[in-house]
Amino acid sequence: MANEVREIRINPIVPSESVLVATARSMRPKKAEELAPRDTRKFVETCPFCVGNEDKTPPAILALPTGDRWELRIVENLYPVLGDNRSQTNLSFGLQQIIDGYGRHEVIIDHHAHGIALHEMSVEHLALVFGAYRSRMQQLFESNPRLKYVLVFKNFGPAAGASIAHTHSQIIAMPVVPENVQREVDNSSNFFRKNHQCIFCTLIDEALTFEATIYDRESGTVRRKINVGQYVVERGEKFIAVKPFASRFEWEVHILPLRHQSDFLDVAPEDLGDFARVLQRTMARLDAVIGGAQYNYFLHSVPHDPQRGEHAHSYHWHLEICPRTSIPTGFELGSGLFVNTLSPEEAAERLRAAEI
Ligand SMILES: [Zn+2]
Ligand SMILES: [Zn+2]
Ligand SMILES: [Zn+2]
């Protein structure tokens, strides 16, 4: 049995965000989120996103390949802005106003097969999906210089905010930078000013260091040994999946490029395959350990604002994957302190050990 952990961890990238890691059962202030009933059907006649029902959505902005045997389609959102996100009504309202100004909200139908899970998609297909995100982001930025941020995200399962069961993700282009991205940008820029290094690169280096020993400053004796490599979940040639030390969610995992890169638009097309492989294996590990969990993922990339050049050295793009396995309580919502009931070290170990 793993040791009980009860400590407050400060997010190194956003220090104002802290997490209470409390693993003792008696301490758990949260209820488990139910597993989403998994719809594994390939085709549903009444589904507007299924093949043959293309006339039930607005015309495709992009279809790959073109024609009626598409693998992926991008369409305008018929019900713009997060009207289906039951837990974040205020956010929906705020975003609605932004989009009404000069934003865009689009839906990416990720795959022709209705109920396919991400880890069941081929690596080639996932590379196609992320390549489509990238070209759409590029086109949106080029279409309107007032757009500062293009948020790409996916909701899977009703608790994660998905109202349509058919696998899909969303793109929201906005004239403002979302606050949580701005906080990461500002803090990583401060870190760069002090340390002349990107904080994300520093954390990756730490994740790849296999042991660190902390000595007592006065007596010189070993105070604590940390096995830092314990945060790595999956590693590719160009990308790494890590379990953040101060994870807000029990099974949260982030994927980052190993070499410094601030803008997702700069990923080389030939590297998308490696990214897709790391993502697919990470999702397979999550599925093997928590089976059918609901999740959100979202891409964080450097905002296209006037400071973009300045942040090119300090910000590092990444994909945050946040499975929803517990329901936030009044304590979390009221205090702003996240509660994680599973130690990130144990979660990473279980993910690594999963047979995929
Ligand atoms: Zn469908
Ligand atoms: Zn970096
Ligand atoms: Zn982020």
Confirm whether 1 is domain-assigned. Answer: no
Query: Counting ligands in written order, which one lies closest to the CA of residue 165?
Result: 1
Q: Which residues of the chain are modeled with pLDDT < 50?
A: 1, 81-93
Confirm whether 3 is domain-assigned. Answer: no
pTM, to two decimals: 0.89
Confirm whether 306 is domain-assigned. Answer: yes
How far is ligand 2, taken at its centre, from the CA of residue 259, in Å? 7
- Domain extent for 284: 12-353
Q: For residue 325, what pLDDT is reported? A: 85
Confirm whether 4 is domain-assigned. Answer: no
Confirm whether 5 is domain-assigned. Answer: no
Question: Into how many domains does the chain fold?
Answer: 1
Confirm whether 252 is domain-assigned. Answer: yes
Closest Cα partner for 266 from 91, 111, 137, 100? Answer: 137
How far is ligand 2, taken at its centre, from the CA of residue 277, in Å? 21
Q: For residue 85, what pLDDT is reported? A: 39
Query: Counting ligands in written order, which one lies closest to the CA of residue 254?
Result: 3
Q: For residue 101, what pLDDT is reported? A: 59
Q: What is the dihedral of CA 333, 5, 293, 348, to 10 degrees?
A: 130
Q: For residue 215, what pLDDT is reported? A: 80
Diameter over CA atoms, the chain: 74
Q: Can you give the CATH number for the domain in which 236 is found?
A: 3.30.428.10
User: What secondary structure does DSSP assign to 291-312, as a single string?
Assistant: -S-EEEEEEE----STTHHHHT
How far is ligand 3, taken at its centre, from the CA of residue 243, in Å? 13
Query: Counting ligands in written order, which one lies closest to the CA of residue 202?
Result: 2
Q: For residue 2, what pLDDT is reported? A: 54
How far is ligand 3, taken at its centre, from the CA of residue 192, in Å? 17
Confirm whether 253 is domain-assigned. Answer: yes
How far is ligand 3, taken at its centre, from the CA of residue 213, in Å? 28
Confirm whether 6 is domain-assigned. Answer: no
What is the Cα–Cα distance from 191 to 188, expressed in whole angstroms? Answer: 5
How far is ligand 2, taken at its centre, from the CA of residue 275, in Å? 16
How far is ligand 3, taken at its centre, from the CA of residue 184, in Å? 7
Q: For residue 63, what pLDDT is reported? A: 94
